[in-house]
Amino acid sequence: MNVYPCLKGVGIVLTAATVLTACGQKPQPPARIPEVSYIVIGAERLTIENELPGRLESFRTADIRARVPGVVLKRCFEEGSIVKKGQILFRIDPRDYQASIQSAQATLAHAEANKIQADLKLKRYKPLVGIDAISKQEYDDAIAASKQAAADVQAGRAALAKAKLNLEYANVISPITGRIGRALVTEGALVGQNEPTLLATVQQIDPMYLNLTRSSTELIKMHQQLLNGSLQNPGNSIPVTMKLEDGTEYTEKGSLVFSDITVDPSSGEVTVRALFPNPKGLLLPGTFVRAKFEQAIRENAIVVPQQAVLHTNEGDSVMVLNSEDVVETRKIVTGGIQGTRFIVTEGLEPGDKVIVEGLQKVKPGIKVKAVPWEDPEKKDTPEQIQGVAPVEKTEKAEEKQPQAAAKN
C-alpha cells in the first residue's frame, strides 16, 4: 500500500499552517456572547406610598396659669406625674377672696332691703295717684326708685358671683388629664399681678399627633391624577406607619385625620396630620420621625428596578430585548419611585423584556445571552412586594425561559 499520497497531504496542511504562522495571522477564538439578566414587564395593582418627615405633638396642651393675683401657698402635684382633669395643682392664698365674698354678700343684702322698701312705697302710691292724693311726679319717682333698687340687687348678685369665682380660681386646677411638667413657680411666689402667670404645662400624650409636611406641587399633581382616573383613592381610613429617630419601627399604627388647605409661602409645603396611639408613653412631643402612608392606588401599573433605568440629558431610557434577544434602546417616562423601583407611565408595555443586569457589557444592536433576573428582595418575602403577584410572574418567567434557551 502506498502511503505517500497521505503524507503528501499532511505536508501541504503543515506547510499552510507554517506560512500563516510566519505571516503573524494567528487563528482567533470565537467571539463570546455577553450575558444579561432581564425581567418580563407585567401590569400590576400598585399601592402608591409616601414617606414624609414630621414631628410629634401632644394631643392636647394646657398652660396652667394663675387667673387671680396672690401668693402661692402650696404645690399639690408631683412634677412629671399624670394629673387628672379637675385636680388641684396650686393653692393661692384665698383670704382676700373670702373677704370679698363677705363684702359682696353684705352689699347684696343692703340692695335687697332697699328693693323691699321701694316696692312697698310704689304699692302704696299706686291707688293714691288715681284719686289725686299724690302728684303724678311723686308716683313716677316711686316707680324709678323700685326699678333702681331691682338693678342694685342684680349688681349685688353679680358681684357675689364674681367673688365666689375668684375664690375658686385661688385653687388652680388642671383642665385636662395628662402628664404635667416641672413647676415654674414655688411656694411663696407672687403670681397673677399684671398678667396671668404661667405655673406649669399639662400635655395629653395618648394619643399623639404627628404633623407631616408634603410638597404642594406633588399634592396638586396627585389630585389631578385622581380626577382623570389614572389613580384611585385608597379610602377614607388611611393607615400610617412610623419610624423613630433611631430607625426602629413603631409598633402601633396611626391614621390620617387632617390635611391643611393652606400652603406655607416660605416652603411651598402643606401640613398633613396623623394620629397615633401612645399607651406606653414611648412617644414624646417634639420628636422628629418619618412616617409612611398610602396616598393612592394605581391599577395596571408598570414598574422596573431603578438599576435598569439609564439617565441622560435626553431623558430616561431602558435597554430591552427583541424576539431575537437583540438589544434595543427604549425611551421611557417615569412617574415616581416606589421603594427600589421606578413607576413607568410611558414607553413600556406588558411582555417587554427589560435588561436589569449587564448593561455595561452591551449596546444597541448586539445579540446577547439572556437569563431571568432574580430580585434579591423577593427571595425571602415575595409577598411583601405590594401589588406583585409572585405566582403569575413565576409562570411567565418559566414560559419565557425555555424559549430564550432555545434561541441561544
Residue 344 has pLDDT above 50, yes or no: yes
* Predicted pLDDT at 129: 85
- Answering whether pTM is above 0.85, one says no
Handedness of CA 383, 389, 393, 396 (dihedral sign): positive
Nearest in space to 295 (alpha carbons), one of 194, 223, 366: 223
Q: What whole-number distance in Å separates Cα of residue 315 and Cα of residue 318? A: 10
pLDDT digits (tens, 9 = 90+) for 358-379: 888 888 988 888 889 887 766 5
Looking at the DSSP assignment, which residues form a beta bridge with residue 258?
A: 273
Domains of the chain: 35-47+299-407 (2.40.420.20), 49-58+204-298 (2.40.30.170), 68-92+176-195 (2.40.50.100), 94-169 (1.10.287.470)
Helix (H, G, I), strand (E, B) or coil at 318: strand
pLDDT band (50, 70, 90) for residue 386: very low
Query: Which residues make Cβ contacts (< 8 Å) with residue 261, sequence separation at least 6?
Result: 270
What DSSP character marks residue 62? E
* Predicted pLDDT at 29: 62
* Predicted pLDDT at 215: 75
Q: Which residue has the higher pLDDT, 323 or 380?
A: 323
Q: What whole-number distance in Å separates Cα of residue 243 and Cα of residue 255? A: 14
* Predicted pLDDT at 358: 87
* Predicted pLDDT at 399: 42
What DSSP character marks residue 319? E
Residue 390 has pLDDT above 50, yes or no: no
* Predicted pLDDT at 342: 87
pLDDT digits (tens, 9 = 90+) for 279-299: 988 999 999 999 988 777 777
Q: Which residue has the higher pLDDT, 6 or 57?
A: 57
What DSSP character marks residue 232? B
* Predicted pLDDT at 395: 39
pLDDT digits (tens, 9 = 90+) for 230-242: 666 666 677 889 9
- The C-alpha cell at 312 is 441622560
